[in-house]
């Protein structure tokens, strides 16, 4: 079974540009995933303002009873977040790898318009390989 | 703690995939040549190269951030250093230097002694107004705009015009704050 439930990418204005779920848990329809994305975008922005820490860059990890949510925001404002089984390790590293895949296979695709939903086969392919590798590594321990 | 920003792009340059330098130089030459044929006016070509650079820059910045692991720069001085030392090294394989700071630290020069784009290039008399490497100024402008800095980038010295180096003047026009307040009552 997969430890990662789903992956979201949201652009800097809060629109969901990529959503993928893995496995059966926490599966959502299109409307719900859009709702989660825009909710997270606003919560992230609010957390930045409310944080007592100076220069806070927003929530990085949300822990709940049934899932963990790890978020990574690039300096350009694009947010990547994964929802996974509680206690899953090394999600920050995975998000960094996904960011690199995004720069390689999405932004370098001349037919991709920036800020628009991602429909790039090469990205899908490399992403699923990365996630699979990650799951194998997790199961191996 | 945040990872320490690399002071030079050597390690990254060694780890990313590279293409043959001559292929790169010749491809760029072919693009400029084709633009001259299509647009006829040298001024138009300059504008088009800048626009192409801008379009590259707004995408390239993410690759730069993803692969270089630089953290947020504290001020524009650091930004300029990172562009010259890490950015140029990572994408062009050369290192630039930063000089000529003005008093309030918003305007500086990035000087390139070595520029792989211009190997083999001689400007003919008909193209004297051409900024052959104008794509570079566009790239910097586009990339900085994505990290909320509006800049103006102009060529000061150009070896193809008989100067002794390539010098780009980068001027910070304004820093757009990233916060969301977008006041409701306005």
**What ipTM score was computed for the predicted complex, to two decimals?**
0.85
* Residues B107 and B169 sit within 8 Å (Cβ to Cβ): yes
pLDDT of residue A34: 92
Contact A75 B65 (CB under 8 A): yes
The pLDDT score that the predictor gives to residue A3 is 82
Which residues contact residue A40 at a Cβ distance below 8 angstroms, ignoring those fewer than 6 apart? A8, A10, A69, A71, A79, A81
Q: Rounded to an integer, what distance in angstroms lies between the CA atom of residue A116 and that of residue A15?
A: 8
Interchain CB distance below 8 Å, A77 and B178 = yes
Give the torsion sign (CA, B153, A113, B12, B31). negative
Min Cα separation B174/chain A (Å) = 17
Domains and CATH numbers, chain B: 19-175 (3.30.1380.20)
Token pair of B103 as six digits: 């008093």
> What is the predicted pLDDT for the residue at B2?
43
Return the higher-pLDDT residue of B184 and A117: A117
Decide if B146 touches A, using CB distance below 8 A.
yes
Q: Radius of gyration over alpha carbons of chain A, in Å?
A: 15
Assign residue A14 a region (left: φ > 0; alpha: ψ between -120 and 50; beta: otherwise).
Answer: left
Own/partner pairs, A112-119, CB within 8 angstroms, 24+ separation: A114/B58, A114/B59, A115/A11, A115/A12, A115/A13, A115/A15, A115/A17, A116/A17, A117/A16, A117/A17, A117/A18, A118/A9, A118/A17, A118/A18
Please name the residue that has the structure tokens 């026009």.
Answer: B173
Total structural domains within chain A: 1
Cβ-Cβ contacts under 8 Å for B135 (sequence gap 6 or more) = B28, B49, B50, B52, B53, B56, B117
Q: What is the mean pLDDT of each run of 10 residues along chain B (186 residues)?
A: 60 85 94 94 95 95 92 90 92 92 92 91 90 95 94 93 92 79 51
Please report, for the domain that includes residue A68, its CATH number: 3.30.450.70
With an 8 Å Cβ cutoff, are B59 and A99 in contact?
A: no
Q: How far is CA A64 from the centre of its chain?
A: 17
Domain that holds residue A136: 4-140
Angle at which helix A91-101 crosses helix A121-139, to 10 degrees, equals: 160
pTM: 0.88
Task: State the pLDDT at residue B69.
Answer: 85
Q: Could you tell me the two tokens for A122?
A: 């090469």
Inter-chain touch A76–B72, beta carbons under 8 Å: no
The yes-or-no verdict on residue A1 having pLDDT over 50 is: no
User: Which residues partner with B99 through β-bridges?
Assistant: B109
């Amino acid at each position: 079974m997969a430890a990662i439930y789903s992956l979201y990418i949201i652009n800097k204005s809060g629109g969901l540009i990529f959503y993928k779920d893995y496995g059966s848990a926490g599966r959502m329809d299109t409307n719900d995933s859009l709702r989660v994305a825009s909710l997270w975008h606003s919560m992230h922005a609010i957390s930045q303002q409310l944080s007592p820490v100076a220069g806070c860059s927003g929530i990085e990890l949300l822990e709940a009873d049934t899932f963990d949510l790890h978020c990574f925001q690039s300096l350009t404002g694009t947010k990547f977040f994964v929802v996974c089984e509680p206690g899953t390790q090394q999600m920050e590293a995975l998000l960094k790898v996904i960011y690199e895949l995004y720069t390689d296979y999405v932004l370098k695709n001349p037919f991709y318009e920036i800020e628009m939903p991602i429909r790039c086969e090469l990205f899908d392919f490399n992403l699923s390989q990365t996630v699979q590798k990650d799951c194998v590594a997790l199961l191996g321990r | 703690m945040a990872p320490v920003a690399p002071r030079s792009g050597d390690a990254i340059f060694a780890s990313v995939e590279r293409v043959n330098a001559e292929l790169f130089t010749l491809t760029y030459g072919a693009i400029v040549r084709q633009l001259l044929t299509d647009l006829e006016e040298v001024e138009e070509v300059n504008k088009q190269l800048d626009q192409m650079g801008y379009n590259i820059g707004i995408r390239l910045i993410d690759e730069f951030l993803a692969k270089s692991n630089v953290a947020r720069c504290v001020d524009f001085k650091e930004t300029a250093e990172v562009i010259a030392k890490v950015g140029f090294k990572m994408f062009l394989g050369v290192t630039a230097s930063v000089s000529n700071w003005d008093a309030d630290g918003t305007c500086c020069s990035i000087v390139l002694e070595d520029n792989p784009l211009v190997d083999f290039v001689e400007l003919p008399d008909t193209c004297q107004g051409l900024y052959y490497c104008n794509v570079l100024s566009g790239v910097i402008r586009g990339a900085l705009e994505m990290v909320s800095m509006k800049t103006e980038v102009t060529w000061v010295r150009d070896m193809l015009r008989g100067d002794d180096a390539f010098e780009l003047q980068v001027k910070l026009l304004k820093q757009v704050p990233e916060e969301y307040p977008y006041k409701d009552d306005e």
